[in-house]
Structure 1
Amino acid sequence: MPRLESLRPWVLLGVFSLLLFLISGATFSSLGVVLPAMVADQKWSWAQAGLGFTLLGACCGGSAWFPPIVIRRFGVRAALLLGTAVMAAGFLCLYATPNVWIYFLGTALCGVAYQLMALIPGTHVLAAVFQKRAMAFGLYFTLGGLGGVAGPMMALAVMELTGGAWRPFWALQAIAALAIGVLCSLLIPSSAWLRASSERIDAAVKAEAEAAAAAPQTAPLAVYRTVQDWTLKQAMGTVQFYILVAAYFVHLLSGVTVSSLSVAHLTERGVAAGVAAGMLSLEGLMATVARLGGGFIGDRIDPKWLLILAVGALGMGSLALSVADSYALMIVYAIGTGVGFGLTALAVTILLLNYYGRQNNLEIFSTVCLVGAVSALGPLIGGSLRDLLGSFSPTFQLFGLVAAGVFVASLFMRPPQMKRAGEGAAVPAGLINDPV
């Protein structure tokens, strides 16, 4: 029995990684590949097509307040089952798509389900069962992120097998969502077990941080972790919170836009559709590699440096994509945006826990996720600029400059310090040095 209990955290890691693999591969990464065929078949403008992708991202971010309510009241299993039903309904709408309005409804439903099925429940549960959270999140985002690698190739394969038809792809995704969502929900433990695990893990993390604070070290590879549990209101009163929000915003802004428009952009610049889709898969592979590497070192060096590397790479990749018409530039784009997209999400997730604690992380992280509602304007902006200027290049150049601004802000970021009511002194902070 003790052996079974020790394996349960790894089972949960596998469950949520599988869910993230499915929904990332079937939504953001695949839609950009299928979209040109849908546009040609339905006679849509690129502004309309981009708006559908914008609704996917906006509903993904804008619904981030909802999963914490479901989880707190009904448990994680209820959130997964509800998300499974909504995701399947979204795929069925995309399968039917008699007009642009049903397309919009389908993408909106998939966006809501994205948060319910994996991202927020996954980070909430894994933070409650793993003490080495950077390692756990690194594996989670890595394994789940493989969906971004498989998605474009899977979409192309299904369309090739069906003579270029795009509807069968969405039908297959609906079936997969129902089967995998129900199976995974059955493997989720009870709320009482999760609560007991989180209390045990929190006590261990705080004890480690307090011990380090009592005997601070000055090694250059120190990892900052707070010894306090911040409330959402307290976190929102710090500059660091908004820098992390900005980083999460630009990673979604660039990531969603690259997924939705890069294939169309590159083919307009003379790149073969298969090569363009392959570069999107390479981008997903680089994101996966970056998450894996970041997860293994995120408990050893401060994740702030991962964030700086990530947003810098994201900006460089976006600028390279804007003018890409050769393999060299396309590889710079794929590596840059891939590393940037993969590492930014991981670094922000870890920094929120390190800066503000785990107790209220469900609400803090979901609030950060709300920026997805705004960053989802990327495809709409890109599609509108394409219709107006005849090119997607200005969009990627603009987003590259936004990433550069976040890069500069991240360079000067320092850990937040909580002040006692009515006092100016800060509560002692923890510095942890894990052995390499």
Structure 2
Amino acid sequence: MRREWLVLAAVSLSFFFLNAATFASLGVVLYTMVGELHWSYKAAGFSFSLLGIACGLSSVFPTTLIRRIGPRYTMTLGGVVLVAAYALASYTHGLLAFYTAMLLLGLGYSLAGNVPAIYTIACWFPRRSARMIGLYLMIGAFGGVVGPPLARAIVSFSADWRVYWLEMAGVAVAVTLVNLLCLRDRAIEADAPVADGAGTNPAETEAGVAASGWTYRGAIATPQFLAVAGSMTMTMACVTTINSVALNHLGLLGVAPDTAAFALASMALVMTVAKGVAGPLCEIVSTRLLLVVGMALQVVGIALFAHAGTLVGIGAFALIFGIGWGVAYLAASVLLLEYFGKDIGSQVLGMVWTLTTVAAAGPVAAGAIADQIGTFAPIFYLYAVLMVAAIIPLVMLGRPLRAGAGPFARRAVPDEGAVPQAQAS
């Protein structure tokens, strides 16, 4: 088996497990924990928020560690942290221990998640990055399909939510060993394009600059970076809140817990397929257009979820929001690589996830609203409005220009004898 495919399989397995055993299934396990430990909706939502906060704030760590120890050992370290998090969660008797476990879980997610994995894929597939990132996200996202019903089945069969956390700790050990054995570090190719520009706006392509023209600070100072970060922040706010309160929200609307868990799995399945389709689409149509379309679909989906008390409503929500989530998630990741090159684009992706930390306030806000007025619906209508606001700059902004690059600037190419960016840094 060629090494690059072994690497892709390893990082995809890691992301599959992360999606199955963190954000997607946590709300399912919390549903049982809340009843047994007598926690309020707000207290339970705060645990979900801590997971998001830890994941967001620690997203800058992989960028630093990749430079020092490489993505292989960065992801291995993340696996070790995940094992500790799951083990601690299994011994929870109060909120403090569980909150600590969620902080560790968020840190482990960052170290073993998208930032080192996408960097690794860009290194091993320099000419097919968009397609392979889409495949990686699709395989990993399938964990969100498996996670909710699997968590529900484990908790129901064992009649003990602690068993679920212990089993996830065991799986984390296995996944960590796979990463350690299968991953290998490889230097990134400077100036290898992510896509050939087919399907993008000709004016934008002509105005673009090569990856070697960007620095990390220059990239994060552009309005285009902030627009992409804003879109991902709203996407993660919606997804995090939905996963954290779905069983309780749909329960208030008269939906059974098993049906609610199935709704989460259905949404994740649709999102999984959407990510796989969006990867090749990025090579033939504008990635920015795909991001806008994905955001618009999420607006419709989140509004439907506010009162999805019937099977038809749940199905419509799962289909529409799932497609929007998958397309937007993939498009945002690839767009950063197209704008700033694979090396700098992979680095600024970590900053995007750091900025999305504010999305962690969603579950707490949703829980507080439900505690006061007995419904979660207002938070979802608010998300729909904010999502529309996030779409506007994406529509208005074109491709970012490096300082000094004009509308007739040719695409920069490495000078003869120039040191490639990855080697120079």
Given the two structures, how large is their TM-score scaled by the length of structure 2? 0.91
The alpha-carbon deviation at position 428 of structure 1 amounts to 3.3
2:114 aligns with 119
1:293 aligns with 277
Residues matched between the structures, number: 410
Greater shift, 219-228 or 345-354, is seen at 219-228
Question: In 2 relative to 1, CA 228–333 (structure 1 residues): closer, same or farther, beyond 3 Å?
Answer: same
The alpha-carbon deviation at position 219 of structure 1 amounts to 7.2
Question: In 2 relative to 1, CA 227–424 (structure 1 residues): closer, same or farther, beyond 3 Å?
Answer: closer
Question: In 2 relative to 1, CA 245–186 (structure 1 residues): closer, same or farther, beyond 3 Å?
Answer: same
Note if contact 1:12-1:188 (Cα within 8 Å) is conserved in structure 2.
Answer: yes
The alpha-carbon deviation at position 224 of structure 1 amounts to 8.9
Please tell me the residue identity of whatever aligns with 2:317.
Y
The alpha-carbon deviation at position 188 of structure 1 amounts to 1.2
Note if contact 1:53-1:376 (Cα within 8 Å) is conserved in structure 2.
Answer: yes
Residue 158 in structure 1 maps to residue 146 in structure 2: no
2:419 aligns with none
Note if contact 1:223-1:299 (Cα within 8 Å) is conserved in structure 2.
Answer: no
Note if contact 1:318-1:399 (Cα within 8 Å) is conserved in structure 2.
Answer: yes
2:103 aligns with 108
Q: Deviations over 1:43-92 (max 9, x none)?
A: 11111100000000111011011111111111122212211111011111
Note if contact 2:293-2:324 (Cα within 8 Å) is conserved in structure 1.
Answer: yes
2:330 aligns with 346
Matches of 1:228 and 1:38, distance apart in 2? 48
Matches of 1:250 and 1:326, distance apart in 2? 26
Matches of 1:312 and 1:62, distance apart in 2? 27
Q: 2:193 is matched with which residue: 194, 205, 218?
A: 205
2:33 aligns with 38
The alpha-carbon deviation at position 223 of structure 1 amounts to 11
Identity of aligned residues (%): 29
**Within 5 Å, which residues of 2 pair with 1:17-96?**
17-96=12-91
Q: Deviations over 1:75-120 (max 9, x none)?
A: 1222122111110111112111110011101111110100111211
Question: In 2 relative to 1, CA 331–220 (structure 1 residues): closer, same or farther, beyond 3 Å?
Answer: farther
Matches of 1:249 and 1:323, distance apart in 2? 23
Please tell me the residue identity of whatever aligns with 1:116.
L
Note if contact 1:120-1:362 (Cα within 8 Å) is conserved in structure 2.
Answer: yes
Matches of 1:128 and 1:223, distance apart in 2? 26
Residue 320 in structure 1 maps to residue 307 in structure 2: no
The alpha-carbon deviation at position 336 of structure 1 amounts to 2.3
**Within 5 Å, which residues of 2 pair with 1:237-386?**
237-386=221-370
**Within 5 Å, which residues of 2 pair with 1:181-220?**
181-189=176-184, 191=185, 194-195=186-187, 198-199=188-189, 202-205=190-193
Matches of 1:217 and 1:147, distance apart in 2? 32
Residue 132 in structure 1 maps to residue 128 in structure 2: yes
Question: In 2 relative to 1, CA 219–127 (structure 1 residues): closer, same or farther, beyond 3 Å?
Answer: same
Matches of 2:263 and 2:218, distance apart in 1? 42
Question: In 2 relative to 1, CA 217–29 (structure 1 residues): closer, same or farther, beyond 3 Å?
Answer: closer
Question: In 2 relative to 1, CA 223–251 (structure 1 residues): closer, same or farther, beyond 3 Å?
Answer: farther
Note if contact 1:252-1:372 (Cα within 8 Å) is conserved in structure 2.
Answer: yes
Structure 1: where are the runs of 5+ without partners?
A: 431-436
Question: In 2 relative to 1, CA 89–223 (structure 1 residues): closer, same or farther, beyond 3 Å?
Answer: farther
Matches of 1:167 and 1:250, distance apart in 2? 32
Matches of 1:140 and 1:79, distance apart in 2? 18
Matches of 2:360 and 2:408, distance apart in 1? 37
Note if contact 1:418-1:426 (Cα within 8 Å) is conserved in structure 2.
Answer: no
Matches of 1:156 and 1:418, distance apart in 2? 50
Matches of 2:204 and 2:3, distance apart in 1? 31
Aligned partner of residue 357 in structure 2, secondary structure: helix
Aligned partner of residue 306 in structure 2, secondary structure: helix
Please tell me the residue identity of whatever aligns with 1:139.
L
Matches of 1:398 and 1:182, distance apart in 2? 43
1:433 aligns with none
Aligned partner of residue 119 in structure 2, secondary structure: helix
Note if contact 1:222-1:302 (Cα within 8 Å) is conserved in structure 2.
Answer: no
Note if contact 1:223-1:302 (Cα within 8 Å) is conserved in structure 2.
Answer: no
1:434 aligns with none
Note if contact 1:60-1:372 (Cα within 8 Å) is conserved in structure 2.
Answer: no
Matches of 1:124 and 1:360, distance apart in 2? 10
The alpha-carbon deviation at position 362 of structure 1 amounts to 3.2
Note if contact 2:41-2:370 (Cα within 8 Å) is conserved in structure 1.
Answer: yes
Matches of 1:233 and 1:373, distance apart in 2? 20
Matches of 2:200 and 2:228, distance apart in 1? 26
1:227 aligns with 210
Matches of 2:205 and 2:347, distance apart in 1? 27
Q: 1:428 is matched with which residue: 374, 387, 410?
A: 410
Please tell me the residue identity of whatever aligns with 1:246.
G
Question: In 2 relative to 1, CA 43–145 (structure 1 residues): closer, same or farther, beyond 3 Å?
Answer: same
Matches of 1:45 and 1:218, distance apart in 2? 51
The alpha-carbon deviation at position 204 of structure 1 amounts to 4.2
How big is the alpha-carbon RMSD for the aligned residues of Structure 1 and Structure 2?
A: 2.3
The alpha-carbon deviation at position 328 of structure 1 amounts to 1.9
Question: In 2 relative to 1, CA 78–49 (structure 1 residues): closer, same or farther, beyond 3 Å?
Answer: same
Question: In 2 relative to 1, CA 225–292 (structure 1 residues): closer, same or farther, beyond 3 Å?
Answer: farther
Please tell me the residue identity of whatever aligns with 1:268.
L
Matches of 2:373 and 2:258, distance apart in 1? 26
Matches of 1:176 and 1:218, distance apart in 2? 45
Matches of 2:180 and 2:208, distance apart in 1? 32
Note if contact 1:226-1:354 (Cα within 8 Å) is conserved in structure 2.
Answer: no
Question: In 2 relative to 1, CA 206–217 (structure 1 residues): closer, same or farther, beyond 3 Å?
Answer: closer
Q: Deviations over 1:326-361 (max 9, x none)?
A: 122211211222122222221111000101112222
